[in-house]
Every structure is written in structure tokens, then in C-alpha cells.
Amino acid sequence: MTAPLSDTDASRPDMPDSPRTEADLRRQLAACYRLVAHFGMDDLIYNHISARVPGSDHQFLINPYGRFFREITASSLLRIDLDGTKICDTPGQVNRAGFVIHAAIHRARADAMCVLHVHSDAATAVSALPDALLPLSQFAMHFYNRIGIHAYEGVALDLDEQERLVADIGDHRVLLLRNHGFLTVGQTVPEAFMLAYYFERAARIQLQAQAAAAASGRPVVLPPHEVCEKAARQFTEFAGDIKRPGFREWPGFIRMLDELAPGYAD
């Protein structure tokens, strides 16, 4: 079980600050895989979450192709470089689509410590709507005018798509992939996870609201632009002890995993 938290112990894997060792990062990233599976945002073996190894030249950890997210452990993660070459003896193959997407973002963004890509149901549905994610809920305000959109080009296997992925995400923390899914970029693993968690919830609520509105013949209610922008700033311009997304929630998630799936840290 997880020991009591210490305000001075920022290197622990259950703390939301960036881990200082690869071993801590492995445990934190494995926990993220298990959480994505727990909340139903995974897609069998076909999604990926990566995290840059501390002190490395843009090398990052990613899941071996062929394992469900609920099976991922700290020791099963692969360490690869920006060319997709394995830098470890861990068994498993690299998913090319995972390498193409994640290497592009890690190479282009110094703040991309963690890149999380999923095909969750609600977000994928919203990706196919002309207006994409609407400010229909407080969850959606996190992302108001703060997401990039990338047109669907087929399965991400071509290296020349990397340039367009990078251009479309810009300096945003979320990239909506049309007809495909979405990805989040975090300065920490917990940040990337919380962005994904709230994006999926926002998308789910939007679909429910739009269905209810269509059934009733009445339109949905959208707050005015000024209010949406104010709320977005409140969520994105953190001050005081609020810190980055995930800072407060992550220890609770770890306590939950310690009870439900303690094997993630192996």
C-alpha cells in the first residue's frame, strides 16, 4: 500500500511532480495506463501513452504492441528513441502508429513530457461533428478555444504526417483527431491523464445534451463567449497552490489502484 504522502518527497511515483528517475516514471506511467483502462477510455491494444525519460535525449517510454492497457506494468514498458529504435531489452514490439504520433510531439514540444492518445467513444464521436467540442459544460470550459484539430489521413503510419500533427496542435495541450480520437500533452503524466479524463467527460455530456435537445426540439444553451473565456482562463491560468491538473487528484488515483490493481508497479 502507498505510504503517507510527504510534502518534501517530490520524487515518489505517487506524487504528481515529474519523477526524477526512470524507475519512478515507469511506475507512474504504468499507473496511467491502468487508469485509462479503468475509466473505459482504452481500445484493446491500439492506443498509446508515452513519457519522456528524465535526463535522456528525447528517449521515451511507451507500451509494447499487443498488450491491453490493464496488463501494463512498470517493467513491461519499452524505452525507445525518436527514430523508433528500442533502447532496452524488454520484450515486445513498437507500434509504428504510436511511434509516428508520439515521436512527433516529443520532438517538437519541450513541454511534452507525457503524450496520451486514445480512441475513447465520446471524444471520437465529437471529433466527427462540424463544431467539435462545444462549451456545454464546465468540463468543456477547460478546452474552450484551446484545442487543435487535425484532419483524418488514415492510420498514422506515414512519417510525413508528423509535420502536420505538430502544426495542428501548435502550443495547445489537446489535439482532436478528426474521425479518430484525440491526444493530450502534459508536463507530467498526471496532467496528461486529467486532460484526457475531462475531455472525454465533456464530450460525453455534449452528446447527451445534443440528443436530449434533438428529442425535445429545443436547442442547447451555450454560455456567452466572455463567460466561456473567463472559465477557460480560470482553469488554464493556475495560480497559488492550485498547480497543474492532476496535482491534487493523483495521490487518490494511486490509492485506488493500490487497492484494485497493485500489480501495475511490478
Give me the domain span that covers residue 95. 22-128+146-195+245-265
Q: Is position 180 within any domain?
A: yes
Q: Is position 228 within any domain?
A: no
Q: Is position 1 within any domain?
A: no
CATH number of the domain to which 152 belongs: 3.40.225.10
What is the mean predicted confidence (pLDDT) over 190-202? 95
Percent of the chain whose predicted confidence (pLDDT) is above 90: 58
Q: Is position 184 within any domain?
A: yes
Q: Is position 214 within any domain?
A: no
* Residue type for position 103: A
Minimal CA–CA distance to 200: which of 56, 75, 35? 35
Q: Is 27 exposed, middle or buried (0-12, 13-18, 19+ CB in 10 A)?
A: buried
pLDDT tens sequence across 6-58? 333 334 455 556 677 888 999 999 999 999 999 999 999 888 999 999 877 77
> Can you give the pLDDT at residue 85?
73
Q: Is position 94 within any domain?
A: yes
> Can you give the pLDDT at residue 11?
42
Locate 80 and state its grid cell: 525507445
Q: Is position 229 within any domain?
A: no
Q: Is position 119 within any domain?
A: yes
Into how many domains does the chain fold? 1
145 close to 232: Cβ distance less than 8 angstroms: yes
